[in-house]
Amino acid sequence: MKKNFTALYILLVVAQMLLTNYFHLTPYIMLTILPVIVLCIPTRVSTTACLFIAFATGLAVDLFAEGTLGLNTLALTPVAFARRGLCNAVFGPELKTRGEEFSFRKYGPVKVIFAITVVHALFLLVYIAADIAFARPLLFCLERFGASLLAGVLLSIPVADILTPDDRR
């Protein structure tokens, strides 16, 4: 069965909105799957188009879930900008030249989880810096970054498995 990426993308963005609205655990943990959703956008999509998609996604989540306009938009756009370079660095340039997509089966869980961790770290660095504006103590910022990174990566692994192609055909 072929996956419809656009439908899955929209469903996962709605899931992120529900996650943001109803599962706010503590001030230390921010659960988000947005960075991995943007990372898994097919490689045939240009960086410019990916930037627009990430901007629209972040704005939708800001409008319908977060409440603070611009935070997800601001944090998601650098992820979209770095996506192509990160994929080339982690998975190799043949990913773009062959028009392939990355997957757990093809590149192994270590590389995929590393890429997920990098995009989450980038997202959280920008998000926390903009959200807190360094008005809180550095220790709180570091604890929030660490707890959110761990929770976000663990939550994003099955999402990446859903969004990436299944090569067992």
**Closest Cα to residue 38, out of 2, 82, 68, 71?**
82
Please indicate, yes or no, if residue 169 is contained in any of the structural domains.
no
Please indicate, yes or no, if residue 54 is contained in any of the structural domains.
yes
Q: Is the pLDDT assigned to residue 24 strictly greater than 80?
A: no
First to last CA, the chain: 10
Please indicate, yes or no, if residue 151 is contained in any of the structural domains.
yes
**Strand locations in the chain, DSSP E?**
none
Number of structural domains found in the chain: 1
Please indicate, yes or no, if residue 58 is contained in any of the structural domains.
yes
pLDDT digits (tens, 9 = 90+) for 89-139: 988 877 777 777 777 788 888 988 999 999 999 999 999 998 887 788 888
Which residue range is the domain that position 86 belongs to?
Answer: 5-163
Model-level pTM? 0.90
Please indicate, yes or no, if residue 23 is contained in any of the structural domains.
yes
- DSSP assignment of 105-150, as one string? HHH-HHHHHHHHHHHHHHHHHHHHHHHHTT-S-HHHHHHHHHHHHH
Please indicate, yes or no, if residue 168 is contained in any of the structural domains.
no
Please indicate, yes or no, if residue 78 is contained in any of the structural domains.
yes
Q: Is the pLDDT assigned to residue 22 strictly greater than 70?
A: yes
pLDDT of 107 reads 83
Q: How confident is the model at residue 77 (pLDDT cuts 50, 70, 90)?
A: very high
